[in-house]
Structure 1
Amino acid sequence: MAKPSGARPEIGEFPIDTGTCELEPDPYNPNGWVLRINGVPSSHIDLADPLQLDFEYMRWIASLVDSRWASTDRLRVLHLGGGACSLARRFAASHPQARQVVVELDGRLAELVRQWFDLPRAPLVRIRVGEARAVTESLSEDSRDLVIRDVFAGAVTPVPLMTQEFTRAAKRVLAADGVYVVNCGDSPNLAMAKREAATIGAEFAHTVIIADPAMLKGRRYGNVIIAGSDAPLGEDPGLARELLGGGVPAHLWQDARVRTFSAGAQLLAD
């Protein structure tokens, strides 16, 4: 049975359109909750502090965004992949003039997240139920400053959301100096990260990669953040220092190093 609007989250497993989601308390934070989708950790929410991001890769994305836009900017954000809307909630707090749309495939999950986590209402944060590529291709040109792709089916991103054709579609909706950011989950061989970096680099003049050293050295499975823009990106020295100072220190690779890393990788295509 659906919980009433504004209800607090509760421990349990709940049916959603694409399977099940499970909500469990954070054992280290009395205000924290972890959302799992079909058994895979998807999001973390701190009910008392929207600025708190427990997943390191989300912190890296937030740091990149903070280095690019002032807190007073009227940032137009498209989130592809919803989960618990952790990043949208964070940007609503850090950039109060932002206008955000979160695209979530699972309509029932979107309803539950709205009920559980007291998200800012539209137009600050609007959840649009739909498939990420179809929604992106339907949007107007130059209608967003930032597009964040964080879509997973299980542990992998659907291929139609990684191709050069889709990257062009994302670029089309961006402003001239807009930024496209993707969360790439990869194995130690980094084959997919190289192909994603090459694909994004083929469409944008400037690229960066953010990841922890163990990941970049091919020692484990994890997240690699790849971003592209036609304006210079990641050049603020304060960003590199901030990334190194996090709970899980991360390295920032600038465009030349990203292109060396991805040299010879086959572009992803439809």
Structure 2
Amino acid sequence: MDPARGGRLAGAVVRVEVGHGSAELVADADRPSAWTLLIDGTAQSHVDLADPTHLEFEYVRRTGHLLDALDPAPPAPLRVLHLGGGAWTLPRYVAATRPGSAQRVVELDGALVDLVRARLPADGLGLDVHVADARAGLTEVPPGSCDVVLLDVYAGARIPAHLTSVEFLQQVARVLRPGGCYAANLADGTGARTLQPRRTPLDFARGQAANAVAVFPEVAVVAAPDVLHGRRFGNVVLVAGGGDDHELPLDEVARRVAADPFPARVEPGEAFAATAAVVTDKTAVPSPRPPRGLFGQ
């Protein structure tokens, strides 16, 4: 393989300054065609160029289960909007598992897009990649034009505040078809570094669930039990959508994530949100910083 186009020597590391930090592509010692993308030391994506159906990160695998369960047999094409690009792990997965899908990727960092195109090529997948802020890019999408919207945007290991409000979710709902699905990768839990007084574990994630309950007919969260119980910091996948006689396949997702090597659980969004207040543009804050040493921080 050409080292400039995804091939490498064992243990290879590629370091490049991108628009919003320092990017590293680190070769996977166990998978000859795989790389991990890190931004400022935080692992952002894992891609196996020879097997795009391999999803290394737990939360990404859980999102993959959701995508598979939306229309399990036969796997029909989907219209997917990806807010946040990383190394395009899930766009590659959708292209492999649902050929013919129409996919748009919105990524703020143009230098990162150039790096991924050059080093981790996705030739022939038909990805429509736009360099733009996720919320600004969302406003350019026609109403009702997406089956799925996926959010995975982090800056300095935190979700920017303008992507955490109920107004943002109302824009997401606008671009989804009736019965469409939204999923977001959140990070929260015990040990988070924050200046907010009297914060308890999962306050941020519960607020995001409250936003979704205010906008969508069906809401759930997917995470490992110890994260859901607030015993450690980790990823929480927020799932929302449904309505118009289109139920989210939450029972099927629950079966699939329970059978993973690192099992997870599906919890109803309204119960998870509990008494959390809806977050508006005026009250929104970035997601909490992870504990030191986690995610490479």
Task: Give 1:18's aligned residue.
Answer: 20
Query: Aligned in 2, Cα 1:199/1:158: closer, same or farther, shift over 3 Å?
Result: same
Q: Tell me which amino acid in the other structure corresponds to 1:246.
A: D
8 Å contact from structure 2 (residues 207, 278) kept in 1? yes
Is the aligned partner of 1:80 residue 2:94? no
Structure 1 residue aligned with 2:280: 269
Q: Percent of aligned positions with the same letter in both sequences?
A: 37
**Alignment match, 2:94:** 91
Amino acid at match of 1:17: G
Q: Is 2:6–2:33's contact at 8 Å kept on the other side of the alignment?
A: no
Asked whether the 8 Å contact 2:7–2:33 carries over to 1, the reply is no
Task: Report deviation, 1:32.
Answer: 1.8
- More divergent stretch after superposition (45-54 vs 22-31): 22-31
Contact 1:149–1:183 (CA under 8 A) maintained in structure 2:
yes
Contact kept in structure 2, 1:208 and 1:233, CA below 8 Å? no
Give the Cα separation in 2 of the matches to 1:187 and 1:253.
16
> Which ranges of structure 2 fall in alignment gaps of 5 or more residues?
191-200, 282-297
From 38, 41, 44, give the equivalent of 2:43.
Answer: 41
Q: How does 1:1-270 map to 2 (within 5 A)?
A: 6=5, 8=7, 11-70=13-72, 72-121=75-124, 124-188=126-190, 189-231=201-243, 232-235=247-250, 237-254=251-268, 258-270=269-281
Q: 1:138 and 1:167 mapped to 2: Cα distance? A: 15
**CA deviation after TM superposition for structure 1 residue 80, in Å:** 0.5
Whether the 8 Å CA contact 1:89–1:120 is kept in 2: the answer is no
CA distance in 2, matches of 1:15, 1:145: 35
The aligned length equals: 263
1:114 to partner: Cα distance: 1.2
Structure 1 residues 145-165: Cα deviation after superposition (integer angstroms, max 9, x where no partner): 100000011121011011010
TM-score by length of 2: 0.84
- Whether the 8 Å contact between 1:76 and 1:146 is mirrored in structure 2 is yes
Separation in structure 2 between the aligned mates of residue 93 and residue 238 of structure 1, nearest angstrom: 21
TM-score by length of 1: 0.92
SS at match of 2:17: strand
In 2: Cα distance, 1:121 partner to 1:58 partner: 23
SS of 1:264's equivalent in the other structure is: coil
